Amino acid sequence: MRWKKTLTSLAFAVIGLGMLHPAAAAETQRGDLKVLQLPMRTDGPRSIDPGRGSTTYDAMAASQFYETLLVNNYADPTQLEPLLLAEMPTTEDDGKTWRFRLKEGVRFHDNRCFPGGRGRTVITDDVFYSLKRIADRRATGLQNWWLLENTIAGLDEAFAAQEETGSFDYDAPIEGFRKINDLEFEIVLRQPIYRFLYILSMFQTSVVPKEAVEHYGRDFGFRPVGTGPFVLDTFVPKQSLTGNRNPNYHEVRYPAADQWSREDRRARLHRPAGQRVPFVDRIEFTMYVQDQPMWLEFNQGNLGYIQVPEEYFLEAFDRASGSLREAYINRGVRAHDDLLLDFIFRGFNMEDELLGGYTPEKRALRQAITLAIDLDEINQVFYNGLPLVYDGPIPPGLDGHPEGGRAPVSYRGPDLNRARQKLAEAGYPDGRGLPPIRFYTSVSSLNTQLAEMMTRQLARINVTFEPTFLDFAPLIQLVNRKQAPMFGFAWSSDYPDAENNLALFYGPNEAPGSNHYNYKNPEYDALYEKILTMRPGPERTAIYERMRDMVIEDAVFIGSQARRRFYLINPWMLNARPTERYHSWYKFVDVDNARR
């Protein structure tokens, strides 16, 4: 039976800049338009305001409409390249002062917020406004202040003034923002910070126009006005998001042929080299909370690609060889895999009355729970043994990842005898007197089954486990309000440096920042502040390892696993090299309607 989503006006409001004209819809049906249909494996973004975004799904949505100064190269995602800039930024003082030059002629989307409805040119003031806005509590809720805190000269002082007055003064001069002219500027840092250019490639630092923020007010998160390749058509929260090609999109070219690897060239990804993008006329995302309807839609040819759900892996791939099954090959379906910079965890709220705290007894309780969980069993049963299980928060491939996945300090289970000993040290011998452990995670058939396994594993040491399942957006809201005693999801590194993962435990980044655990350790915080200014090398790696072992000893989370993501790509979706490292790659994809 084909699964369909129905739109009910009583339940959802359609938000957009205008519906697709009936004539255009007819053209879509005739195949005259190139329409790219894509899945979003959740209930979708909470907001399309990049300043308020934090999740993969926020990034997936916002990156179609907004752009950053820098971006990952599509052919080689480890390399940064200019996007809104004419060239890579330069420095003459070892990274304390950076000089930038914007690309000429980049325009914001045509929108009623501008005089006459015509989008104006992006200038230096827009960059400064967008970065200041991240520090504005009322505008963004400080969701991403952790990215810029203690970074740009004078910005922390402006933030402090806001805390006193109750409002952010955008007109007050900031020492670190130096305007040369409308296209050229400098940003001066408090000290050289290695990650700074990476931050300028993250979707949260996208450039937004002040006119749109002020015109739409509280609705700005649902009315994106950026410079991106697509312009919003409709947004139906928790169901769908659509956009049409930006007719005024600035010149962006498909990567040159010599930038592609030999493997990518075999997949013919180099063929459109040098052509101007985007290729498609329209992009359509559908949200899927459950995997089954998404899987059915892909197999009916209605989605361009899919992340293969773990429960369907053996339907698509042979377990022994790992190769794509013949039935899919005969349909022209192509497989692609990508090792994620992945940190899958079950975290503890360090401010929770039961599970939080730093006394030996509180630490022992978390260690007991960690020692009772069997990640290898979870890995085999639910992930076909494909992810890598490892100690600590640093994914494989990054400095500080433990050799062989095992850190010198480890509480990886199952070790039931040690778990029972720790439970007794915590004051709950044989589990007596311990209240149920309340755990929150996102709704999915996989998570339901996984929670059942964790319930069984913890029952072996007489610990009662009470899982609650929420849509992803309310789950994040609960965690941000520090109301989830224990919670589970995943963190994909924003850039290929373990500092990004270690930032998850830096005290000032507490919720609603990236430190969802609300972990606060003065020694750890001092080390984190030290590594920010250090370049890669043995000394920095040694500190990374020390910080890794500190959070393992404090049992801040249960983990971890790094997934290898497997994708299937329908034959009508061209140039596709799916990745989760960034989400502006859809503009490089083409559609061949004749192959649908």
3-state secondary structure 78-129: CCEEECCECCCCECCCCCCEEEEEECCCCECCCCCCCHHHCCCECCHHHHHH
The residue ranges of every structural domain in the chain are 342-562
Contacts for 23 with CB less than 8 Å, ≥ 6 apart: none
Q: What is the pLDDT of residue 31?
A: 56
Helix (H) or strand (E) holding 23, with range, is helix 22-30
Residue 489 host element (H or E): strand 486-492
Q: Burial-class residue 381 by CB neighbours within 10 Å (0-12, 13-18, 19+).
A: middle
Distance CA 510, CA 354 (A): 19
Residue 331's pLDDT is 95
- CATH number for 342-562: choose from 1.20.140.10, 3.10.105.10, 1.10.357.10, 3.40.190.10: 3.10.105.10
Say if CB 565 and CB 307 are below 8 A apart. yes
Per-residue pLDDT, 322: 80
Residue found by looking up tokens 């972990």 in the block: 519
Interacting residues of 523 by C-beta distance below 8 A, sequence separation 6+: 550
- Amino acid letter, 142: L
| Geometric angle at alpha carbon 327, from 326 and 333, rounded to 5° | 90
Q: pTM of this prediction? A: 0.78
* Torsion on CA atoms 278, 283, 287, 139, rounded to nearest 10: 70
Q: List alpha helices for 280-319, DSSP H.
A: 291-299, 313-316
CB 416 within 8 A of CB 461: yes
Amino acid identity, position 194:
Y
d(CA 580, CA 574): 18
Q: Which helix (H) or strand (E) element contains residue 468?
A: strand 465-470
CA-closest candidate to residue 239, choices 284, 283, 286 = 286
Q: Taking a C-beta distance cutoff of 8 angstroms, is the pair 242, 286 a contact?
A: no
Which amino acid makes up residue 523? Answer: E
Q: Which residues contact 491 (CB under 8 A, 6 or more apart)?
A: 342, 343, 345, 393, 501, 504
Closest CA to 343 of 512, 195, 149, 548: 548
Q: Which two tokens stand for residue 392?
A: 């600590």
How confident is the model at residue 134, as a pLDDT?
96
Would you give the DSSP letter of residue 409? S
Residue linked to tokens 């996989």: 446
Ranges under pLDDT 50 in the chain: 1-30
Paired residues of 178 in beta bridges = 186
Contact criterion met (CB below 8 Å) for 66 and 313: no
Helix axes 445-459, 375-383, angle to 10 degrees: 150
Q: How many CB atoms lie within 10 A of CB 501?
A: 27
Which residue, among 233, 229, 275, 224, has the nearest Cα to 248 in the 3D structure?
A: 229
DSSP structural state of residue 189: B
Reply yes or no: is the peptide bond before residue 408 cis, omega within 30 of 0.
no
Among residues 508, 509, 461, 500, the alpha carbon closest in space to that of 364 is found at 461
What's the CA gap between 467 and 451, in Å, rounded? 7
Q: Answer whether 371's CB lies under 8 Å from 418's CB.
A: yes
Contacts for 5 with CB less than 8 Å, ≥ 6 apart: 239, 240, 286
What DSSP state is assigned to residue 432? Answer: T
Contact between 62 and 53 under an 8 Å Cβ cutoff? The reply is yes
Question: Which residues is 491 bridged to in the sheet?
Answer: 343
